[in-house]
A and B are shown apart, each in its own frame.
Chain A
Amino acid sequence: MSPKLAIRPRLRFLEAAATPHGLDSYLEQVDPLLVTGECRAEVVGVERGTEESVTLTLRPNRAWRGFRAGQFVNVTVEIDGVRHQRCYSPACAEPRRRDDSGLYRPLFGPSASEVLEIAVKRHSKGLVSNFLVDRAERGMVVGLSQAEGDFQLPEPRPDSILLIGGGSGITPLMAILRTLLAEGYDRPVALLHYAPDPERAIYRAELERLAAAHPNFQLARSYTRAPGAGELDGHFSPLHLPQSDPDFTAAETFACGPPALLDAVRGTWANGLEQRLHVESFVPPTFVPVGEAGEGQVRFAESGVEVTNSGESLLAQAEAAGLTPEYGCRMGICHTCTCRKRAGTHKNLLTGEVSSAPDEEIQLCVSAALGDLTVEL
């Protein structure tokens, strides 16, 4: 019998005794990592390479179910009382899998047996990233989602692999590379890395070490603002593809970086090669309003309904589209119509406040969409 089954009856008793708040809400008062129904992680390592970035080592709690190299996690931090989320790709090697129950869920203690490494870079509008770069410290507890994303190293491992990364889009590729090399992958793997200059190229030293130690790993850098400093120059072009193996487009290719890089890569992998290309877009969050009331599309995600934004309250638009959301006062006081906004910019019609934060609770009756918006309704 698995350990999980053995403890279930006891947990059920405890949950009944802890109704209606649930066992976790008592456990977390003792230690925030003790919760069983929610993934959280403790920051156990903080390495500040430059003022622009920080590398964090996270130890998830028992709820963590592990990840595949290339996947991402949502990290939640609280800034001035408000929870904010941002996704990061762990850059560490995926742990060697033994069996599903043993590795990630020790029976006792708050933590999983593995740690995660994420690299965080400062950028102008990056609320969460800048907070972590400035304020992350050992002992801090952050929220964590389970790992998500189809961008992952396939099994069995392909015969040759090409990695193309731009900026901090290198992180999921690091996870893939480290995983491959750690498990003794001996077929060709190449990395094209684009960064503004050597100083801002994260993992530079480690990549050089790896390239020196593993003859099957070929490393090529292009520093777009420091021509001549890397093996290559300028932005991505097909000419950057490894010359040693003219057939490198036959490799499984993983690309992650800013939209311009990915567009160029997609252009090259057209004509039937698309199925060998795996792409993870890497877009910094936008916090600027992207339109006027009355522009864009409003999507009611759970109903699968999409309408042209009329600029009216989202409640009125939902009703006009034939939906029947719960509502009460229709004047912004009772919160009956509160819904989660997934993405987009909304304006509070009472306060005039504008917000572009994703995953935010909004009151439909007093919120209007500015441009495209998606709500869970």
Chain B
Amino acid sequence: MKNKKLILAAFVLSIGILLGGQEEITIRIREGMPMIPVALPDFQVTGMVQPNDEINRMIYETLWKDLEFSRVFKLVPREHYAYISRFNPNAINFKDWASIQANILISGQLEMAADERIIFSFKIYEVNSTRFIFGRNYGGKKDLARMIAHKAADEMMKHFGEKPLFTSKIVYVSETGNDRDIYIMDYDGFRPTRITFSNALDMLPSWSANNEKILYTSYRNLTPELFMFDMYTGKTELLSSGGSNYAADWSPVADQIVFTSSKSGNAEIYRKDMKTGKEKQLTFNPAIDTSPCWSPSGREIAFTSQRNGTPQIYVMDSEGSNIRRITMEGSYHDSASWSPDGMRLAFVSRIENRFDIYIFNLKSNEISKLTENAGRNENPSWSPDGRHLVFSSNRSGRYQLYLVDYDGRNVRRITSGGENKMPKWQRLPR
């Protein structure tokens, strides 16, 4: 009898361990899901385009790099294609592709008309079941080739249950000579477009929730005022002035912004309703309160406060109450950025005159370091899918923009020339 009880206890215990283990495994799968092996043979070309044409290579390489960057797909090395028969889109030998461990096969076709408009078509096959999964056709002007490739990569993401990423843009500040203006560009650093043309300092830009407007601070009237630029109408509107007005962040769920203003005489955090124009002061403290950032739910706001002597990260609810301190160690933290899943805060810490980016897990209270002793690293901002971040760093001399994965892997520089900083990645439109 006693034995039986013991066995039962052991059984219960082992189930407990199993369940516990299982839970841990599911978390691990979320973070490090095995990547899907994809083969991307050369495109078939028709019409006015040759296989070696720049346009063909551009679409191919952009699509390749997007999928490689995704952390969702893994590309079968091109060297392996040499061991199997040449890809024929009309008679696909799936066994060949299975033999080089491809799970997904992309069959692409590029056509160029006499007026230089291009049509890119692609079909996705599952190799093992030899099934056609889905296909898309994109047509457009020749100079939109990169955009077409990004759209195709996003379609892949969506089809595999992931969030689109590759058509997203980054807004940032670029400085060449004495000019410092706001620019937007593709996530991979291509196609930069200047959007402000003032002779004064323009800085700290951010996106509206629908990505149609840019909030930024400009010194064009001598003091730092908050402006809003509408990309569709081209109109610029003054949002807040008096004292310094900066670090605006648009709510992911409502037409509300939070920003820092010293219009009352001290740096405090304000919330502004963009429909009624009504403002509400959220912090009341003689210390510096700045750098507000909405949680994805819109219920909380992370911010920086010096109320206990040194700048630390705090979180309050969106009405300004229930303030709690997040960073407990270190003497200098700022620029909090909330991950799209709401689970993590990325921020900058200064330790012995180095700036590095850290990620704080709000569930487990664990802190991990994202950048390692390479110059000053500032202004982290999450990708819409939460797998990557963009930040600025002076590791190579002047400030440039870099991408990094959530686990610190795949650091990649995306700007060069002049100085580029203060990046903000678009969020998924609500």
Question: Are A and B physically bound partners?
Answer: no
B contacts, CB < 8 Å to A:
none
